[in-house]
Amino acid sequence: MVDGLISDAGAMIRELVAARGGEIFDASTLKEPYRIEGKKTMGLELVEQLGWRTPDVIVYPTGGGVGLIGIHKAILELRELGWLPDDRPFPRLVAAQANGCAPIVTAFAAGARRATPVRDSHTVAFGINVPGPLGDELILDALLRHRRYRRRRR
């Protein structure tokens, strides 16, 4: 158990990996190869359950952001495979965060390419209390890419 937030646990793991090298493997967010592929299934299932159409908007509770990154990847790949029609716009992706810990929402609103870690973050939604998401650039890229695509198509 770590007394603190997910960022504190991540710092502890980084220290252990540095100290013990090959004995410990960091399998945290975006450090192992399969998590995004697993999260990608959410995007695949959404589209499949909608009859191979995309929804207009996907609102996703965002902590580390792997869910949004995976959904974004799924939609891009389905389009590349030709399984989604070209005339259907990408869904608008929305990162939902708590007021007390909203680094992605704040960065997006400011038009920033990176999120600034939140100091003294607090929220009762423990699972999304991630003050400095490792994949901030990937999350913001997904949010911006889908927003730009929808604007061009209208």
**pLDDT of 31-48, one tens digit each?**
777 889 999 999 999 999
Q: 33-153 sits in which CATH class?
A: alpha beta
Per-residue pLDDT of 123-154, as tens digits, reads 999 889 999 998 999 999 999 986 655 444 44
Per-residue pLDDT of 55-85, as tens digits, reads 999 999 999 999 999 999 999 999 999 998 7
Identify the pLDDT of residue 1: 79
CA distances from 7 to 21, 43, 88 (A): 20, 27, 38
Residue 46 neighbours by CB under 8 Å, 6+ apart? 54, 55, 58, 71
- Report CA Rg, the chain: 17
